[in-house]
A = this chain, B = another copy of it.
Amino acid sequence: MALYKFDKSIDLFVRATKKIPNGIYGHVSPALAVPGEFPYYAASGKGSRYTDVDGNEFIDYMCAYGPMVLGYNHPEVEAAVAAQRERGNCLNHPGEVMVQLAEALTDIVPFADWAVFAKNGSDVTTWALQVAREHTQKRKIIMARGTYHGAHAWCTPGHGGIIDEDRAQIKYFKFNDIDSFYKVIEEHRGDIAGCIMTPYHHPTFADQIMPAEGWWKKIQKACNDEGIVLILDDVRAGFRLDLRGSQEYFGFSPDMACYCKALGNCYPISSCVGRDYLKGAASRVFLTGSYWNSAVPMVAALTVIKVLKETNGIQKMMDFGNKLSKSLIDLAKSHGLQYKFTGPPTIPFPSFANENNFFRNQRFCSEITRRGSFFHPSHNWFVSTAHSDEDLKETLKAADEAFAIVKKEFGS
């Protein structure tokens, strides 16, 4: 198999570092994969695949880190979007589609009575905390330590530019450790406005952790008993586990939920939905942005929901995700390697069971990436409804070579 090179990516990156701090920043930073071993700049995308600036084509297991759910440039989304764009996008007022989208979202998400829209996950997770504070007139927010809820100061994984006040009213428990959860409630009883949590734990540079038996029932009961607003951060998992929201997958019911990623199939939109009892508070917390009323991303979201529903898209992704994990684990085993998957089938995170340092994972992902399947070594993956058996076949062929290299270099 001819191996990909990333010369143009690297040249561009060197040029970028002169005019952009870190060259490329944030969650797509090359430093989070393996510098020099992965593409840095993308040129085009179609279906389940994208091409980098060096002309290398990849089967994409990151899906733009989540936003791509139906495939890049999906015909039905693009057709709906084109019609709206030709009429107008960002005007003085929202379009009729804003009402339609709020109706559609509150229709599919069982507990949701209202919806608002923004551009980014952080926009809505931060706003949801404010709504909880406004409603309860309390200050503290509790969250699972190490969870990514966005890039704002109260939750950013970065260390720069943070002051004590940013987190003075944020208190932590450990995911899946119910005693630590009860303890933080005990310690701050009477001053807790909200609890924000992802439906399962999806850290970076670590295995994903599914909720323990009974976890969500206990969380929900405690929040209800204590008058704590339960906020589901479904930014990453939303519309990849259950079309009704990830609370249905895990069997509980929050008071608010935040969506982004899969919602617009790469068109910039996020949303927060909530229960009726929070609508008054929601109306008193100012929420706005220059482009937030744009009609095009709302048309995209409306179409994504429709297509996922009509095509049973979630099940399609689950099936592909299950085939992907089973066949890669089996293939690794045939090489004498221990490969494992954590997290749900549609948002998998694979790694080698016999290491904690990701050395094998980095080597394996580098080798398979330069053979045409983009595998990230330290961030959970995403699958889409565009991934096909043909994709899987090609990926397994590349994986066979990449596993052989790992076996040769590491022995097991």
- Hey, which bits of chain A sit against chain B, CB under 8 A? 9, 12, 15-16, 19-22, 24-28, 39-46, 50, 52-53, 60, 62, 64-68, 72-73, 86-96, 98-99, 102-103, 106, 113-116, 119-123, 126-127, 129-134, 139, 151-153, 156-163, 165-166, 168-169, 235, 260-261, 266-268, 270, 279-295, 374
From B39, B91, B156, contact of A93 by CB (8 A): B39
Top 10 A-B pairs ranked by shortest CB distance? A26-B288, A158-B286, A130-B161, A160-B284, A42-B91, A45-B88, A21-B283, A90-B266, A134-B161, A21-B282
Cα separation A25 to B271 with both chains bound (whole Å): 13
* List of B residues within 8 angstroms of A134 by Cβ: 160-161
From B41, B43, B67, B286, contact of A90 by CB (8 A): B67
Contact of A92 with B50 in the complex, beta carbons under 8 Å:
yes
CB-defined A-B contacts under 8 Å, sample of 15:
A20-B114, A25-B287, A26-B287, A39-B93, A41-B93, A44-B91, A46-B88, A90-B267, A92-B374, A120-B289, A129-B161, A151-B286, A156-B286, A165-B168, A268-B291
Contact of A165 with B162 in the complex, beta carbons under 8 Å:
no
Contact of A41 with B94 in the complex, beta carbons under 8 Å:
yes
On whether A21 and B169 interact (CB within 8 A), knowing A93-B39, A290-B65, the answer reads: no
On whether A64 and B92 interact (CB within 8 A), knowing A22-B283, A114-B20, the answer reads: yes
Cα separation A86 to B103 with both chains bound (whole Å): 30
Contact of B268 with A119 in the complex, beta carbons under 8 Å:
yes
Most B CB within 10 A of own CB, among A40, A87, A129: A87
Contact of B64 with A288 in the complex, beta carbons under 8 Å:
no
On whether A88 and B67 interact (CB within 8 A), knowing A93-B24, A161-B129, A284-B161, the answer reads: no
Give the distance to chain B from A89, nearest Cβ to Cβ, in Å: 6
* List of B residues within 8 angstroms of A115 by Cβ: 19-20
Most B CB within 10 A of own CB, among A92, A152, A294: A92
* List of B residues within 8 angstroms of A290 by Cβ: 65-67, 120-121, 235, 260-261, 268, 270
* List of B residues within 8 angstroms of A60 by Cβ: 92
Most B CB within 10 A of own CB, among A73, A88, A119, A161: A161
Q: Of all chain B residues, which has the CB nearest A41?
A: B93
Q: Of all chain B residues, which has the CB nearest A39?
A: B93
Cα separation A288 to B123 with both chains bound (whole Å): 12
From B116, B153, B260, contact of A20 by CB (8 A): B116
Q: Of all chain B residues, which has the CB nearest A50?
A: B91
Q: Of all chain B residues, which has the CB nearest A90?
A: B266
Contact of A288 with B25 in the complex, beta carbons under 8 Å:
yes
From B21, B42, B106, B139, contact of A95 by CB (8 A): B42
Contact of A88 with B284 in the complex, beta carbons under 8 Å:
no
Contact of A286 with B41 in the complex, beta carbons under 8 Å:
no
Contact of A286 with B157 in the complex, beta carbons under 8 Å:
yes
* List of B residues within 8 angstroms of A119 by Cβ: 119-120, 268, 289, 291
Contact of B160 with A21 in the complex, beta carbons under 8 Å:
no
